[in-house]
Amino acid sequence: MKIRVMNISDYEQVYQLWLSCKGMGLNNLDDSKEGIERFLNRNPETCFVAESEQTIIGVIIAGNDGRRGYIYHTAVNPDYRHQGIATKLVNEAMRALKLLGINKTALVVFSKNTDGNAFWEKNGFTSRENLIYRNKLITEMIRIDT
């Protein structure tokens, strides 16, 4: 197994991996090939895949805004779990973010994802009970006239 930087040619395998993971929250805008390509173009050094015999068995999507790092869509093929692959992916992403001068990283996990929450806690990510996560879909808000 090797870990390497993700590129857009990995998208189909990565997307199929995401679909194989119960509880993965995907949407057809941000997680489309075009959406992931935009993210990779903005964050070319911080997204990684774990590969075994040319098959992608793990992925971490991470990026930053110049101040904070953010982790999205970390997944390992269910057949390869409990082998330290996700931890290696997280460590590689954190190393890459640190090299970019990022000192703190955040992520969001669905509250019902008990396995995911246990993994993140085991890896030193604490829960912030003093925050409320909010979002707004801006594609419904903005109309672009041509």
CATH of the domain at 27: 3.40.630.30
Short-list 55, 36, 32, CA closest to 44: 36
The verdict on residue 21 lying in a domain is: yes
Interatomic CA distance for residues 44 and 63, integer angstroms: 9
- Give the residues of the chain that fall short of pLDDT 50: 144, 146
Interatomic CA distance for residues 114 and 120, integer angstroms: 10
The verdict on residue 72 lying in a domain is: yes
Short-list 129, 125, 25, 135, CA closest to 75: 25
Q: Return the pLDDT at 41.
A: 97
Please give the model's pTM, rounded to 2 decimal places.
0.88
Q: What are phi and psi of 72, to 5 degrees?
A: -130, 150
- State pLDDT tens for residues 24-62: 888 888 889 999 999 999 999 999 999 999 999 999 999
Q: Return the pLDDT at 145.
A: 52
The verdict on residue 55 lying in a domain is: yes
Q: Return the pLDDT at 11.
A: 97
The verdict on residue 62 lying in a domain is: yes
Number of structural domains (the chain) is 1
The verdict on residue 135 lying in a domain is: no
The encoded tokens of residue 98 equal 């640190």
Q: Return the pLDDT at 140.
A: 60
- Per the structure, the complete domain to which residue 103 belongs is given by 2-122
